[in-house]
Chains A and B, each alone.
Chain A
Amino acid sequence: MTKNNRVSISLGLGVLFIAVSFLYLNYKVPSMEILQAIRLPRFILTLITGMVLASVGNIYQMLLNNPLAEPYILGTSSGSALFSITAYIMGFTYLMPLFGFLGAVLAMTLVWFIAKTGSGINTVKLILSGIIVSMICSAVISLYIYLFPNQITIIMGTLMGSLNHVFTNLEWYIFLGLVALSLLLLTYLYFLSNSLNIISTGDITAHSLGVDTAKIRKQIFIITSLLIAIVTSYAGIIGFVGLIIPHIVRMICGDNLRNNYFITMLIGGTFLLLCDFLAFHISPFGELPVGIITTLIGSIFFISILRKRN
């Protein structure tokens, strides 16, 4: 894809993003107070979640050389879900995001510990450890569902993912700090994209080109886990965005991570905003879990692109 094409696509997507943001924030014209205290926080949460999920998904698919890799594949999200549900069951509703974050970091450490080999980490071992840690966490979550059937709405809310987190003032300022951190980490990842492009061609080639694969993998693993920890601790587990958006972007913009990095982020954010908008307004009273909408819309879109390419 030529640079000109890329620029025009980026421009188009930028306009789309602005349109969706406008719709999201202004639909049914809320009062200034609601806009500022409720809609804007949700907008930022949704946007950053979409951006992080799509970018991390994209990076994992390259790093692990696996088209089925998604942000949750390395167990971080299950650890996060498990710990935030534990906080809720112990009666610390307020601490759910903090616990979620701790859970994600713990799960990440555990996965790292299992997957670690002498010189670095092996991709297959990394995926397997991620799946095993996920399974352990899911088993305990199932146990919770069994033992505390009356807490099911919160447990399901975390597992299905929802962007209706009710922020208290303190939490909001902490969250803003975390958003800033996420943006920094996302930018840092961009500067690793060249090395990642090289790693995706195989370790031997990468070594011969002077890329320290072990070091890069370790850095990426830690940074992406932190990013996923931040978004899952507020939004729960939102499926599909991190799996499909990178594929769609690669079909349009090609495999070069350096070229498609920001476009992935932009599409991820726009897509989740649109899905959350629908999840929020489609039913007259309550909300639908956003994961249902992301999967439905995303897969229809994906099928149509797949067909066209044939």
Chain B
Amino acid sequence: MIYHIEKTILLILAISLVLLLAGCVASKEKTSTGIVVTSPEVAEIIAELGGLDQIIARTQYCDYPQEMLEIESIGDFSSIDIERVIDLKPQIIFVAAFEQQEFYDKLQPFGIEVVKIHSNSLEAYYDNITLIAEKLGLSANSERLITKFKENIDDLTLPANRPKVYFEISSNLGTVSDNSFIGDLIIKAGGLNIFGDIKQDFFIAKNEDLVKANPDVIIALSQVSREEIVQRRGWNNITAVQKGNIYTVDDINIDTVMRTIPRSTQALQKFNQWFLNHDKK
């Protein structure tokens, strides 16, 4: 091995040189005002409030409306380029509450205001719109946005016979209760969540309980196809399966359900349509 030693040392030196040079790459120019948004939900609310021009950076999944895509992306949901955020010197950074606690802790010391936004109910969603609008000086627009959402709810015709609904998030029977935004959407659209009265917002349901509850409508946004649901053992006697009231990701824009955003009214209307039609088949 000894006779390779010069080569090895040369190689180490060469690598060190490359690394040193790489360290000299300058960062992009600094901006000093504006806001950074990491949560797709908040990004959409801001755009809807008319504050799109204040956003200086976003994350990859902040993809609506179209204009959002022209803004610099600083990472994806869980890996955000903190150095770049500090570099940008934003006035405010909006983060999602639980998942992004880490960024909250890291950015607080730099004098950047970190605002955590998480809407786990319709009421929380309205409150958050007001809060975001206040932070951006757009309070004049918040009332309009909230009223529009409420009007959409009021305009719905509720089914006389409220269907029992099972809402599937993950294929291991992960579902939601009434203590969640989706739970609220189901209620407002005129459905009865079969797991509505459970305290936790999200949990894994028991197959037996589900079959016993016998839902009239199944909304499965868990990547499973309608055929797979029909094929599940013991599900053939469920009303929703017999009547074909099964809806999957093919039937709805999943963002309008999973995100708490102004576009959620689209999900609300879809749900309402499905619930109205449940016993017409």
- Interface set, chain A 34-76, CB cutoff 8 A to B: 34, 36-39, 41-42
Given A93-B224, A285-B195, A287-B206: A153 and B172 interface contact (C-beta under 8 Å): yes
Knowing A38-B234, A149-B99, A154-B172, the reply to whether A168 touches B228 (Cβ < 8 A) is yes
Interface residues of B in 202-216 (CB under 8 A from A): 203-208, 211-212
Instruction: List the B residue with the shortest CB-CB distance to A283.
Output: B203
**Contacts A153-B172, A286-B203; is A168 near B232 (CB within 8 Å)?**
yes
Q: Counting CB contacts under 8 A, is B77 at the interface?
A: yes
Binding site for A on B (CB under 8 A): 76-79, 99, 169-174, 195, 198, 200, 203-208, 211-212, 222-225, 228, 231-234, 237
A36 contact set on B, CB distance < 8 A = 234
Q: Residue A262 at the B interface, CB < 8 A?
A: no
Nearest B residue to A96 via CB reads B171
Q: Is the CB of A91 within 8 A of B223?
A: yes
Query: How close is B182's CB to chain A, nearest CB, in angstroms?
Result: 14
Q: Tally inter-chain residue pairs, CB-CB below 8 A.
A: 90
- Tell me, in angstroms, the Cα distance from A31 to B173 when the chains sit together: 21
Contacts of A153 in B (CB 8 A): 169-170, 172, 174, 204
Q: Which chain B residues border A31 with CB–CB below 8 Å? A: 212
A30 at the interface (CB under 8 A from B): yes
Which residues on A sit within 8 Å (CB–CB) of B204? Answer: 153, 157, 162, 164, 286-287
**3 nearest interchain CB pairs?**
A37-B234, A168-B231, A286-B203
Q: Chain A, 153-164, contact with B by CB distance < 8 Å: what is the 0/1 string?
A: 110010000101
Q: Are A172 and B233 in touch, CB under 8 angstroms?
A: yes
Interface size on A, residues (CB 8 A): 34
B202 vs chain A, min Cβ distance (A) = 8
Name the CB-closest residue of A to B79.
A146
Interface pair B200/A149, CB less than 8 Å apart: no
Cβ-closest chain B residue relative to A94: B228
Q: How far is the CB of A232 from chain B (nearest CB, A)?
A: 15
The answer to whether A166 has its CB under 8 Å from any CB of chain B is yes
B27 to chain A, nearest CB (A): 24
Q: Per-residue CB proximity of A107-129 to B under 8 Å, as 1/0?
A: 00000000000000000000000
Is the beta-carbon distance between A166 and B237 smaller than 8 angstroms? no
